[in-house]
């Protein structure tokens, strides 16, 4: 099984309490009435292992990996510029190489959003725009505030745009619905934030759009539309039924049989709301699978998250985790006990990063 669900008490984990009022009967999310667990565990880890704070700081290697992957994608775009979009060579390269490469760039932008590629914040912002180029559509400037709000407001309804909406959960609550969600999940992640709240436009957003548009126009002019089609197709596959795309679901969906029904809370141990993945695909994805570790210490770069895990293993060894992203996708689609309702939500807490207007 990919989800090793254990309920041994973890140090510093708060216990949820019963809600003062029952939830709507049509709402099947797991509602909790305590703060998110990562701040509490971070404090406990620092108290027990103060040396972990030395792991914080930027990782110089990140920029070289990004440069190599951007170069690879441009090379593949040149190679496929005259290939028919529906040809085997085009589709296989887009799926096997392009999707893996663009998923790597998605997660490079994720790292950069935490200022972990350079010491200078502005250097990180500009480099994120560069990493965005092979993705084909501008998104790095918007991703950062939405993602930092996800960290500051984990599970908070109306703030955390990683949470599926009730509309999504209701209409996609079936095998075919979940298969559709997994196939087109990149579109859900692109559109959902606009339905939750919109960010104010900044000069960085404008620069992101102008830089991406200029890159795309130059690509079409000198290489042809096929080159841009390859990059767009790579981005689609990266957020579709691809092994590396399993991390989107693995990180925060609740797997494993719980001791309470969705839509309720409990006075027992809390429902786990973050899962780590320990497997080989971390090598291609900036260790994003070490997700409990990342949320506990977002200032520690990808290269040092395994060291954090080893230093504070007593805090992580009993937490539920995954060992296969492919199995995560399969189980999410086929298991009736798992679906879009399987997310932990809270009504209050956290804060909005970036000044977006809440709807």
The whole-number pLDDT of residue 33 equals: 86
SS3 content of the chain, % helix, strand, coil (to 5): 55, 5, 40
User: What is d(CA 192, CA 346) in angstroms, rounded to the nearest whole number?
Assistant: 18
The whole-number pLDDT of residue 269 equals: 55
In eight-state DSSP terms, residue 96 is I
Entry pTM: 0.89
CB atoms within 10 A of CB 236: 20
Residues of the chain with pLDDT under 50: 1-22, 259-268
Between the alpha carbon of residue 345 and those of residues 71, 292, 296, the distances in Å are 40, 17, 18
> Is-contact 232 80, C-beta < 8 A?
no
Burial class (CB in 10 A: 0-12, 13-18, 19+), 12: middle
> Is-contact 286 111, C-beta < 8 A?
yes
For the chain, how far is it from start to end, CA to CA, in angstroms?
A: 39
Closest by CA position to 323, among listed 271, 272, 282: 282
User: What is d(CA 97, CA 99) in angstroms, rounded to the nearest whole number?
Assistant: 6
The whole-number pLDDT of residue 271 equals: 83
The whole-number pLDDT of residue 262 equals: 47
List of residues 6+ apart from 74 with CB closer than 8 A: 134
The whole-number pLDDT of residue 357 equals: 57
> Is-contact 273 155, C-beta < 8 A?
yes
């Amino acid at each position: 099984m990919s989800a090793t669900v254990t309920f041994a008490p973890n140090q510093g984990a708060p216990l949820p309490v019963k809600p003062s009022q029952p939830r709507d009967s049509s709402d099947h999310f797991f509602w909790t009435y305590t703060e998110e667990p990562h701040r509490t565990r971070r404090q406990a880890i620092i108290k027990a292992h103060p040396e972990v704070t030395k792991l914080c700081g930027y990782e110089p290697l990140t920029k070289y990996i990004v440069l190599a992957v951007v170069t690879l994608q441009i090379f593949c775009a040149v190679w496929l510029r005259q290939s028919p979009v529906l040809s085997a060579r085009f589709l296989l390269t887009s799926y096997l190489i392009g999707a893996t490469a663009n998923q790597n760039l998605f997660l490079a932008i994720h790292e950069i959003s935490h200022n972990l590629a350079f010491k200078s914040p502005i250097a990180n912002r500009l480099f994120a725009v560069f990493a965005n180029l092979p993705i084909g559509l501008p998104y790095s400037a918007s991703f950062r505030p939405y993602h930092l709000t996800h960290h500051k407001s984990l599970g908070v309804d109306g703030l955390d745009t990683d949470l599926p909406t009730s509309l999504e959960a209701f209409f996609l609550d079936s095998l075919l619905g979940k298969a559709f969600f997994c196939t087109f999940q990149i579109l859900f992640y692109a559109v959902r934030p606009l339905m939750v709240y919109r960010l104010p436009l900044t000069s960085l957003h404008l620069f992101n759009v102008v830089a991406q548009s200029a890159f795309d126009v130059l690509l079409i002019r000198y290489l042809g539309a096929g080159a841009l089609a390859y990059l767009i197709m790579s981005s689609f596959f990266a957020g579709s039924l691809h092994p590396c795309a399993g991390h989107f679901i693995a990180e925060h969906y609740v797997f494993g049989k719980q001791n309470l029904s969705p839509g309720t809370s409990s006075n027992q141990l809390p429902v786990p709301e973050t899962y780590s993945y320990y497997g080989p695909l971390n090598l291609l994805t900036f260790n994003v699978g070490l997700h409990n570790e990342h949320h506990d210490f977002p200032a520690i770069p990808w290269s040092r998250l395994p060291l954090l895990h080893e230093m504070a293993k007593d805090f992580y060894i009993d937490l539920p985790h995954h060992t296969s992203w492919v199995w995560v996708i399969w189980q999410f689609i086929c298991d009736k006990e798992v679906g879009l309702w399987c997310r932990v939500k809270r009504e209050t807490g956290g804060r909005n990063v970036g000044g977006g207007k809440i709807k």
